[in-house]
Amino acid sequence: MSKTFKLDGREIPFETGQTIMDAALAAGVYIPHLCHNPEFAPHGSCRVCVVDIGGRQVSACTAAASEGLEVDNSSEAIGETRRAILQMLFVEGNHVCPACEKSGACQLQAVAYYTGMLAPHFTHFFPRRSVDASHPDVVIDFNRCILCELCVRASRDHDGKRVFAISGRGLESHLVIDSPSGLLGDSSFAATDKAAHVCPTGAILPKGRGYETPIGERLYDREPISIVGDVRAQEEEVL
């Protein structure tokens, strides 16, 4: 029979090569995540999926599942760590949820709700970041970028384009666009690119589709992310 490990006491079957995240998702168990997307190689940068294995914290999206593991995905300590990480993401950028088109269908916001994060708590950095509306079909609001590199990976590994990259280091790290002017409109990016459909926040948005679904009726307004899953998966169902 297949091998199993324990997640919060529940037996989760897995196959060799699967991560804890893979196996949990396949078994219908939710582990909060932002930089993970099953279609791309695990990344491990946001750290929201942190779980505890025998006192050691690892990211579920990168840690290999193995026989007999006892994984804690729901203790107060894990919840506290995740909340702090989410708070860090909120104060690092400029996330004005009430004024954001993605509100209600944003994974960052939904994961924050899920973990019980009530306020950003830490002192805001209020970085000066720009909005790039140069592309005819898509707008990028860098204020909302959490550096998950999903667009970087999608463009490179799926679209074969390398439109995005991360530049700088430390808190100065930022998303950049490969074009002579540095603007999206000047790049080879297209609205049909995979990279246009993977952002877990409201940083990459289609133009001309504002408020199609009224606030209050959006994905995570109806059910928590632990039940409905990622935005991307939903989008694809609709298409």
Partner 1 sequence: MNVSATVTVEGFVAESLATHGRDPRHLLQHLIRVQQRFSYVPDAAVEALSAALDVTRTQVRAAIAFYAFLHDRPRGAFEIRFSDNITDRMLGSRRLIRLLIERLGLAGLPAWGRDLVRADGRVSVGLASCTGMCDQGPALLVNGQAVTNLDAQRVDRIADLVQEDTPLERWPGEFFRVENNIRRRGLLLGNPATDGAAVRRLLDAGAEAALAEVERSGLRGRGGAGFTTALKWRFCREAPGTDRYVVCNADEGEPGTFKDRVLLTDYTDLVIEGMTVCAGVIGARRGFLYLRGEYRYLLPHLESVLQRRRAEGLLGTRILGADGFDFDIEIHLGAGAYICGEESALIESLEGKRGVTRKRPPFPVTSGFDDQPTVVNNVETFLAAARVVQWGGYWLRGEGTDQSAGSKILSVSGDCARPGIYEYPFGTPVHQVLADCGAENTQAVQISGAAGATLSPADFDRIIAFEDLPTAGSFMIFDHSRDLLDMVRNFAAFFAHESCGFCTPCRVGGALLRNLVEKVAAGQGSEYDLSEMRRIGTVMRRASYCGLGHTAPNHVLNTLDKFPLIYGRRLARASHTPSFDLDAALSQARALTGRDDIGAHIEDGSEVSA
Binding-site ranges for partner 1 (CB under 8 A): 42-48, 50, 57, 59, 62, 64, 81, 84-85, 88-89, 91-92, 122-123, 125, 146-147, 162, 165-173, 176-178, 180
Q: Which of residues 147 and 183 has its CB atom nearest to ligand SF4 in the complex? A: 147
Report in angstroms how near the CB of residue 188 gets to ligand FES at its nearest.
Answer: 27
Query: CB-based contacts of 117: which residues, under 8 Å, 6+ apart?
Result: 83, 86, 87, 90
Member of 78, 150, 163, 231 binding ligand SF4 (CB under 6 A): 150
Interacting residue ranges for ligand FES, rule: CB under 6 A: 33-36, 44-49, 59, 61
Query: CB-based contacts of 151: which residues, under 8 Å, 6+ apart?
Result: 163, 164, 175, 195, 198, 199, 204
Member of 100, 110, 151, 231 binding ligand SF4 (CB under 6 A): 151
Contacts (CB under 6 A) with ligand SF4, residues 120-149: 145-149
56/52 Cα distance (integer angstroms):
5
The entry of ligand SF4, partner 1, ligand FES, none that residue 128 binds, CB within 5 to 8 Å by partner kind: none
Binding site for ligand SF4 (CB under 6 A): 145-151, 175, 198-199, 201, 203-204
